[in-house]
Amino acid sequence: MIAYVTVGADDIAAAKRFYTAILPALGYRLREGPEGLSFALPVAPGQSVPLPDFYVKPTFDGRPATAGNGSMVAFEARDQQQVRTLHAAALTAGGTDDGPPGFRDAYGPTFYVCYLRDPQGNKIALFSSNPADPGRDG
């Protein structure tokens, strides 16, 4: 099980604008500290901690942060409309489009996704496979 994911950022303020435009709508709560941004899902009483957490931090070695070639973090949205809404919010908050919301031929008939780059260049996907939404052929 993945416990947490960390992406590097040289400009924490820009990263905060981008990630707070999408992650709170997905249930994540932000905690800021001297080491950067920490996003976690809330813990219900009597429940174990939902994973993974998502961290945005300056690099440990002090060199410039770089986006990994082939690396991507995907977040699940509740439905296709939320994918579209969050895609637009992320663009307004300084992200760049890396694939507009829609179906992809390589994936199943209900997999609806968009791809973004955060201000540092990290690739982020927002997707929904909600069976209540129309499928690619519907």
Identify the structural domains of the chain with CATH numbers, from first to last: 4-59+71-128 (3.10.180.10)
Q: Which residues contact 114 (CB under 8 A, 6 or more apart)?
A: 83, 84, 87, 97, 99, 100, 101, 102, 125, 126, 127
Rounded to an integer, the average pLDDT of 10-38 is 97
- State pLDDT tens for residues 58-110: 999 999 999 988 999 999 999 999 999 999 999 999 999 999 999 998 998 99
- The pLDDT value recorded for residue 112 is 97
- Residues above pLDDT 70, as percent of the chain: 99
- The pLDDT value recorded for residue 137 is 74
Q: Is 80 exceeded by the pLDDT of residue 19?
A: yes
**Other CB atoms within 10 Å distance of the CB of residue 49:** 11
- The pLDDT value recorded for residue 93 is 98
Q: Is 80 exceeded by the pLDDT of residue 117?
A: yes
- Residues above pLDDT 90, as percent of the chain: 86
